[in-house]
Amino acid sequence: MTTQLCCTLLAGCLLEIGSGAPAFAADEPVKAPPAAPAPPAPLDVGGFFEVSFKPDYISPRGLLITDTGLTTQITTGLSLDLYKSPSEFINDAAVNLGIWNDLWSSQNSSTVGSWNEFDWWVAGTVGFAHDWKFGVAYVEFLSPPGTFSTIRNVEFSLRYSDAWIGRALTFNPYVKLFYSASGPSTVAVGKKGGTYDVELGFAPTINLKKYGWLPISLTAPTWLTVGPASFWNRGITGCGPSVSTPCATSNAGVFSTGLTGRLPADFFIPPRLGNWYVDGGFHYFHLINDSLLLAQTATGSARSFAGARRDIVVGFAALGFTY
């Protein structure tokens, strides 16, 4: 009995020791390779910055504001994507906000120096039917030196992108309704608040890189403004040899076209610092409405109606980035 008990105990000990012995690799279960890290989620926030240099400052509505010295204009802002669904009728929705500053080297204000104008806006856009985009923006124009009181505006826009056709040249037509809600006239001698104009335009664009050339895109922004005659003149006279000469009424404002070349600057600024670019080109303005010539005497860019410029060409250069 004693011998049998000892053998039983010895066998049990050997089994216990064997169960704790290290296993061979062939006996181990196969482990799955580590999962690849998930790609970073696309950002729903973007930004933009641009500084441009021009000899003149003329508004999109044809008001020549300054034509001496150097005009430096700085734009910056943020864009927030709220919704994205390319397969749905409503493609996307976003909000953006920004500020714009105009510095005029010849202003020499005793209080603000060259700071000529400050604008700010908040806007929303909705993309729909894949290629259409509707936008609405609230914009305020302010004068740091106190030249004019605050102008409050609302702008509605509808844009169409024809990039889906696949041509190297796209046209990108659009229409804007600019409503001046309150404050002085945005064209100096027009109705003060409660008025509007409509901008009909398109922006033909071609990318030369598709033809094996430099990665330069060329855009020819072109537009015509129309609206009620009172938008450009509220009854101010002086469109002729006498200050009492009435101005011809017209429902057309300004025609503008031009050419902008854009070159990406990624050859010397790495993309991790943003998508930098260099712009250069010109804008041509033909002032259809005589009241826009009279307005130059109000802004000081002309001494008389006869000395006002109807055709204006403004060259520019700019540096900016987006992210």
pTM of the model: 0.85
Q: Whole-angstrom Cα distance, residue 316 to residue 322?
A: 19
**Per-residue model confidence (pLDDT) at position 127:** 97
Under a CB-based contact definition with an 8 Å cutoff, are residues 145 and 115 in contact?
A: yes
pLDDT in tens, 282-321: 999 999 999 999 999 999 999 999 999 999 999 999 999 9
**Per-residue model confidence (pLDDT) at position 85:** 92
- Dihedral sign for Cα atoms in the order 49, 55, 59, 65: positive
pLDDT in tens, 264-282: 998 889 988 999 999 999 9
The residue ranges of the chain whose pLDDT is under 50 are 1-28
pLDDT cut 70: percent of the chain above it: 87
Which residues, in sequence order, are bridge partners of residue 224? 200, 255
**Distance between first and last Cα of the chain:** 88
What CATH fold (topology level) applies to the domain 43-322?
Answer: Outer membrane phospholipase (ompla); Chain C (2.40.230)
**Per-residue model confidence (pLDDT) at position 213:** 83
- Parse the chain into domains and list their residue ranges: 43-322
Q: Whole-angstrom Cα distance, residue 272 to residue 289?
A: 47
**Per-residue model confidence (pLDDT) at position 26:** 43
